[in-house]
């Protein structure tokens, strides 16, 4: 009897897992082993995450690029930790199978290893659907980022490293510049940091704005998947920012982006149409867009008003 109840409980738990099964790190590594490209796209709220989930992306990245793409900040360094977590929660509510990776925002991890670890734990505890954090480490002289990466991995928290252009260090880099194109020393620094992060225990790496030939060699030398953005086709997968892919904002998009839609134009034209229909009294239409009451009720209502 007891074992029948136990079996039923296991079955229920199992079927629940199947219904909501999210991709796992082994699933991603299996794709990597099979040399099948890994897809990653950012999402910043329930709507963009639902689109990404329904489109079948392998990974959703809740990137701190949300600072500029969604919140109108000038830089990722303006993003507040709680502001970021608010968006993270919203992304995690979208149903689907994508593995979810969260950035670690600027200001939440630099003051000490202890505070950095606490920030990472706070992020992971935002939702059990978050599978890993991503840390911008870059290829700079300072070793703090690498030390923190080691500590995160030592504690068994899944980590994606981020090297090459790391926007949180935009001032050190003198702007949003390609990393590894100026000198052999610079290219070797990107490679070395990628290798260090692999050795630290990262299960994957983002390579941002690295010359495609360098990114390809780094990918070949490493034994973990690299996800490129502005790093050419030789990486194990690609990541793009959702607002760039959809053309959500007016203005220039980076060279490495393909805009697959022009949602800015679509949205503008729809809102203009709405305003125009309203101004010309073609919207709302009685019958199509209205609710009504029975004549009898209306009569009594009018009497009541008198």
Measured between alpha carbons, how far is 82 from 90 in angstroms, rounded to an integer? 13
- Considering the complex, what minimum distance in angstroms separates the CB of residue 200 from ligand KIV? 18
Nearest to 205 by CA among 61, 45, 22: 61
**DSSP of 85-104:** HHHHHHHHTS-SS-EEEEE-
> Which one of residues 39, 48, 53, 65 is an interface residue with ligand KIV (CB under 6 A)?
65
**Of residues 55 and 268, the one with the C-beta less far from ligand KIV:** 55
> Which one of residues 31, 32, 42, 91 is an interface residue with ligand KIV (CB under 6 A)?
42
Tokens representing residue 150 in the block: 């080691």
**Of residues 76 and 198, the one with the C-beta less far from ligand KIV:** 76
Measured between alpha carbons, how far is 81 from 153 in angstroms, rounded to an integer? 21
**Of residues 73 and 283, the one with the C-beta less far from ligand KIV:** 73
> By the 8 A CB rule, do 65 and 167 touch?
yes
> Among 147, 208, 265, 299, which one carries the catalytic annotation?
208
Residue 21 CB partners (closer than 8 Å, separation 6+): 97
Q: If binding is defined by CB under 6 A, does position 206 make contact with ligand KIV?
A: yes
Task: Measure Cα distances from 268 to 3, 147, 246, 262, 289 in Å.
Answer: 61, 47, 14, 10, 22
**Of residues 79 and 222, the one with the C-beta less far from ligand KIV:** 79
Number of residues that bind ligand KIV (CB under 6 A): 11
Q: Which of these ranges, 46-54, 63-71, 264-272, 281-289, lies near ligand KIV under the rule CB under 6 A?
A: 63-71
> By the 8 A CB rule, do 31 and 7 touch?
no
Q: If binding is defined by CB under 6 A, does position 164 make contact with ligand KIV?
A: no
- Considering the complex, what minimum distance in angstroms separates the CB of residue 230 from ligand KIV? 9
Measured between alpha carbons, how far is 141 from 147 in angstroms, rounded to an integer? 13
- Considering the complex, what minimum distance in angstroms separates the CB of residue 300 from ligand KIV? 59
141 is catalytic: no
Residue 132 CB partners (closer than 8 Å, separation 6+): 25, 99, 100, 101, 102, 157, 158, 159, 160, 203, 204
> Which one of residues 45, 103, 196, 244 is an interface residue with ligand KIV (CB under 6 A)?
103
**Of residues 2 and 252, the one with the C-beta less far from ligand KIV:** 252
| Cis? peptide before 157, omega within 30° of 0 | no
- Considering the complex, what minimum distance in angstroms separates the CB of residue 267 from ligand KIV? 21
Q: Which of these ranges, 60-68, 90-98, 146-154, 290-298, lies near ligand KIV under the rule CB under 6 A?
A: 60-68
Residues 218-247 interacting with ligand KIV (rule: CB under 6 A): 229, 239, 241
**Of residues 105 and 201, the one with the C-beta less far from ligand KIV:** 105
Q: Which residues of this protein are in contact with ligand KIV, per CB under 6 A?
A: 42, 61, 63-65, 103, 206, 208, 229, 239, 241
Instruction: Report, as residue numbers or ranges, the catalytic residues.
Output: 208
């Amino acid at each position: 009897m007891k074992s029948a109840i136990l079996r039923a409980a296991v079955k229920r738990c199992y079927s629940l897992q199947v219904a909501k099964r999210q991709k796992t790190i082994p699933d991603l590594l299996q794709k990597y082993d099979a040399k099948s490209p890994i897809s990653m796209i950012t999402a910043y709220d329930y709507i963009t995450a639902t689109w990404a989930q329904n489109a079948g992306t392998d990974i959703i990245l809740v990137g701190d690029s949300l600072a500029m793409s969604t919140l109108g900040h000038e830089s990722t360094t303006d993003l507040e930790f709680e502001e970021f977590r608010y968006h993270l929660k919203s992304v995690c509510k979208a149903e689907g199978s994508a593995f979810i990776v969260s950035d670690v925002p600027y200001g939440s991890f630099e003051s000490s290893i202890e505070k950095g670890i606490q920030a990472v734990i706070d992020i992971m505890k935002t939702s059990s659907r978050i599978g890993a954090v991503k840390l911008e480490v870059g290829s700079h002289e300072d070793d703090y980022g690498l030390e923190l990466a080691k500590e995160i991995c030592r504690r068994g928290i899944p980590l994606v490293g981020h090297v090459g252009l790391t926007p949180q260090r935009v001032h050190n880099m003198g702007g949003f510049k390609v990393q590894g194109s100026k000198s052999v020393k610079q290219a070797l620094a990107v490679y070395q940091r990628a290798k260090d992060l692999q050795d630290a225990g990262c299960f994957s790496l983002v390579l941002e704005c690295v010359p495609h030939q360098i990114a390809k060699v780094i990918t070949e030398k490493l034994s973990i998947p690299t996800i490129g953005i502005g790093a050419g086709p030789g990486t194990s997968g690609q990541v793009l920012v959702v607002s760039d892919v959809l053309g959500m904002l007016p203005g220039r998009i980076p060279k490495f982006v393909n805009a697959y839609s022009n949602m800015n134009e679509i949205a503008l034209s729809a809102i203009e149409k709405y305003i125009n229909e309203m101004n010309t009294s073609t919207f709302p239409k009685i019958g199509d867009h209205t609710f009504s009451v029975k004549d009898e009720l209306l009569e009594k209502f009018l009497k009541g008003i008198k």
